[in-house]
Amino acid sequence: MSSVSRREFFLKGGLAAAGSAGLVLRADALPTLPSGSLDHYPEFQKVLCGADPFDGPLPGETGLTLTAGVRPTEDNILGPYFREGAPFRAKVTPPLERGTVMLIRGRVWGFDTKKPLVGVVLDVWQANADGRYDNDDPKTPPAKGVYPNRARVLTDETGYYEFETVHPGPYKTGPDTWRPSHIHYMVRKAGYASLVTQLYFQGDRFNQADEFIKPSLVIALAKGKVNGQVIETGVFDVVLAPAAPKK
C-alpha cells in the first residue's frame, strides 16, 4: 500500500479488493423514499395521520406573526457551568444517554418586527438525569472538545429550532435547597440583545421553592410514545429585544 497512492488504490478497484464484495444490505432495509412521497410505506402512516406526538402548530405559526401583547423573553441566571464552543447538532445528549427522551421546539422572534428571526444561534446546556453537569467537578473536568449534554442549534428560514435531549434532573444547591429541572439557553443574533435564560417545566416539585424561577419561563410538557418509548415534547418560543443603539 505504501507504493500506491490512495487515489490510485481507489481508481484501480482497491475498494473491491479490500472486501466490499462481502457487504450485504440488511434484509429489513427499505428503498430510499422518493422526494415528496411518504404515503406508500406503512411505517410513515402514523405521522401522516397526525398521531405523531411532535405534530401540531407552533405558537404564531399561522402567518408567522408574533401574537399581539407578547413581550421579550425574560432573562435568568447564567449559572456556573456554561462552556463556549459546543458543537452544532440537534441531539444535545450523548448516544444512549439514560433518562426520559424530550423534544423541545419553538421559534425565535424579533420583538421589533414581530417576525421570525433566521440564523439565530442558541446555546443549550443542562444537567443529566442525575442532576450532574459535565464540568461540575473540578477534579474530573471534561475532556477537551467533548461536550456532553450541550449543543448549539440554528433557527431556519422560518425562525424554527428543535433539539432532542433527556429530561434533566434536579440537583441540590444547599443542605435544604434544590434547583428544579431546567435547561439553560444563551440566544444570540446580530442586531438584537443577547439573551441568557432558562427553561423550566410545569409540575416539578422544586419549582415553588426555587429563588430564580420566573413563571413566564415555565412550559407544559406533553407525553406521547414512539416505538413504545415515552417521549416528552414541549414548545418554548423566544422573543428577542432589539440591541440598544450605540452611543
Of the spans 18-22, 62-66, 145-149, which averages the highest pLDDT?
145-149
Residue 40: predicted pLDDT = 43
Enumerate the domain spans of the chain: 56-240
Residue 61: predicted pLDDT = 63
Which residue did the predictor score with more confidence, 7 or 153?
Answer: 153
Architecture label for domain 56-240 = Sandwich (2.60)
Q: How confident is the model at residue 57 (pLDDT cuts 50, 70, 90)?
A: low
Mean residue pLDDT across the chain: 84
Pairing label, strands 229-235, 222-226: antiparallel
Q: What cell does 2 get?
A: 505504501
Which residue did the predictor score with more confidence, 9 or 81?
Answer: 81
Q: How confident is the model at residue 47 (pLDDT cuts 50, 70, 90)?
A: very low
pLDDT in tens, 102-137: 999 999 999 999 999 999 999 999 999 999 999 999
Is residue 64 scored above 60 in pLDDT?
yes
Q: How confident is the model at residue 10 (pLDDT cuts 50, 70, 90)?
A: very low
> By mean pLDDT, which of 18-27, 200-209, 216-225 is the weakest?
18-27
pLDDT in tens, 163-211: 999 999 999 999 999 999 999 999 999 999 999 999 999 999 999 999 9
Residue 42: predicted pLDDT = 44
Q: How confident is the model at residue 245 (pLDDT cuts 50, 70, 90)?
A: confident
How far is it, in rounded angstroms, from Cα 168 to Cα 172? Answer: 13
The pTM score is: 0.77
